[in-house]
Structure 1
Amino acid sequence: MFQIAAEMNLSETAFIIPKNASGPNAFQEASQFGLRWFTPTEEVKLCGHATLATSYVLFNKIGNKSTELRFDTLSGELAVRRGLDGLLDMTFPLDAPEPVEITDDVKLLVASIYGEYHESIEVGLSPSLNYLVVHDPDANETDIVNLDPNITPEAYAAGKRVGVIAVIATAKGTQKDFHSRVFGPWVGIAEDPVTGSAHTVLAPFWQGRLSKKSFSAEQSSKRVGHLEVDIVSDTHVQVSGKAVAVFEGYITL
């Protein structure tokens, strides 16, 4: 799986195994699957867009008839349901960021994203997935779009010492509730285009600041991703999105 993911060289590659069905029609008949995700360099605990893609393929390409799929993963059991208007509704564990000590390493990480560190910048670390959330209250959505990070070898080493897998820069939006970008060279991804797992962190981060539990969000990468995010309980968040198939093929092992 590591070798295949490295060959694909995408943000994540997903691998699935049917769990509650067997035989030639197992992928069509199963509703429970084992699911693992790999970047080109690491196995990760949670990946939203690869889960979205997996569910889309099972529902629309393989012909699975289930209304809900359940996946056994490193983040526990995840559920994906057929939603309205082609949406797929994914339920993930919520991972609220917690305040971190502002060390020299943290300051260097923030500066590598924003160009400088100043004391008004909010910084939090999610305890499960180890995303570092960085919020400059003076920044807007245009500032997020225009970020040009410079993650030097020194900043990369600082991230390793802090234990992050990625840094999320985020700002309040106008047409959208919030915008974000996700940078993860620590797991082999310079910038992830759309990151469902990051929104398990962003939803609780913005909950108190916007006094709401349902969000329309944009990940402002070059590809741009639009997500609908709902905090559905004290422990889980629902992330909804659409997928399309862009190519199909076979791998010869």
Structure 2
Amino acid sequence: MNTALPALLVEAFAAGPCTGNGAAVVLLDQPLGDGWLQGIARSLNQSETAFLLEQQGQWCLRWFTPTCEVPLCGHGTLAALLALGHWGLLQPGQSCQLLSRSGPLEATLGDSACTGQIVLPSGGLIPAEASSGLAGLLEARLGAGPEAYWRSELGYRVALLPPGSPLEALACLAGELEPQDRGGLILMLDCGDTPKELRPTVLGQPADYQLRFFAPGLGIAEDAVTGSAHALVAPFWLNHHGRSSVVGWQCSHRPGGMVCELASSGMIRLSGTGHLLWNGTLHGQSDGSGADSWASLLAAG
């Protein structure tokens, strides 16, 4: 069948155009199959494309990279929230639950159309040992190896770098990562040695830490601004700084950031802004099959 569906692109965790992380959002009017969803994500060629579907009065949300479906995507969730506001399906200040493969995610539209809060699971950092290959690569590229290294249930690996490491100037590492790090490698460091007036700001607050994220195993050489990565490492930085909120900055080629707080559920609340880049209608063909894969979200919620 032919489809004509509302679609837009939001540059998430960004205050203006050409920064932050672009996510396409498509509003479905029926459950469509995984092959169709993957094909659209491949054609739109964003780090993630988010698909929204209302079922039984609840919003279901799925995310696809150009090569696969992922269980969690922070910037795609913020983009979906802001899309609902743009389409008039959510009002300023209104909250909703987005049912996903990572469970129900709370989201609240801000007072303006370009701000919002999302709550993501964090998991935990499990101490591990960096491979000699990664340690040597970082030593060669940055002049220092990792001070600490962790794995996580999300599949991401995390390396803490010494303060002052030239993370922003680092060339993309995707092609040189070993298999254990290809599913998502976070490189992070403290901003404490940089005067506050020289740090980037998010919602008027200076950054406390910065990171970069490489995930060639997910079809993403480097992600611009990664909400799931910040949600994972935020508890470390909240404890490190002894505060109830911290500001994370991602110093990628399209930089952006977010304010991170511990939610009452034990999950992490991320606050950020987004910029609507384009808005239109997506045309395609689908056989309409896909109810089973969407029904699982309702069952989990």
Please report the TM-score for the alignment, with normalisation by the length of structure 1.
0.83
Picking from 109, 127, 132, the partner of 2:134 is 109
Residue 39 of structure 2 corresponds to residue 7 of structure 1: no
Q: Gapped runs of 5+ residues in structure 2?
A: 1-36, 200-206, 285-301
Code of the aligned partner of 2:49: T
Matches within 5 A, 1:55-204: 55-65=81-91, 67-84=94-111, 86-102=114-130, 106-113=131-138, 115=140, 121-127=147-153, 129-140=154-165, 143-152=166-175, 155-156=176-177, 158-159=178-179, 162=180, 165-173=183-191, 174=194, 175=199, 176-204=207-235
Once the two structures are TM-superposed, the CA of residue 235 in structure 1 deviates from its matched residue by: 2.5
- Aligned mates of 2:139, 2:146 — CA distance in 1: 13
- Describe the SS at the equivalent of 2:277: coil
| Contact kept? 1:110, 1:134, Cα under 8 Å | no
Once the two structures are TM-superposed, the CA of residue 179 in structure 1 deviates from its matched residue by: 0.5
- Aligned mates of 1:9, 1:113 — CA distance in 2: 29
- Describe the SS at the equivalent of 2:282: coil
Once the two structures are TM-superposed, the CA of residue 64 in structure 1 deviates from its matched residue by: 2.7
Report how many residues are paired: 232
Residue 253 of structure 2 corresponds to residue 222 of structure 1: yes
| Contact kept? 2:120, 2:267, Cα under 8 Å | yes
Picking from 35, 52, 67, the partner of 2:61 is 35
Code of the aligned partner of 1:51: T
Matched residue, 1:27 = none
Deviations 1:205-245 (A, max 9, x none): 22332222311121111111121110124731000111121
- Aligned mates of 1:10, 1:229 — CA distance in 2: 24
Larger deviation: 177-186 or 57-66? 57-66
Once the two structures are TM-superposed, the CA of residue 51 in structure 1 deviates from its matched residue by: 0.7
Once the two structures are TM-superposed, the CA of residue 87 in structure 1 deviates from its matched residue by: 2.5
Larger deviation: 186-195 or 63-72? 63-72
Code of the aligned partner of 2:262: I
Once the two structures are TM-superposed, the CA of residue 147 in structure 1 deviates from its matched residue by: 1.1
- Aligned mates of 2:138, 2:81 — CA distance in 1: 33
- Describe the SS at the equivalent of 1:222: coil
Once the two structures are TM-superposed, the CA of residue 98 in structure 1 deviates from its matched residue by: 1.0
Once the two structures are TM-superposed, the CA of residue 119 in structure 1 deviates from its matched residue by: 6.4
Deviations 1:62-81 (A, max 9, x none): 44348112111111100101
Deviations 1:106-146 (A, max 9, x none): 2323444553696652111122x111111122444xx1101
- Aligned mates of 1:96, 1:77 — CA distance in 2: 19
**Alignment CA distance shift 1:150-1:198 (3 Å):** closer
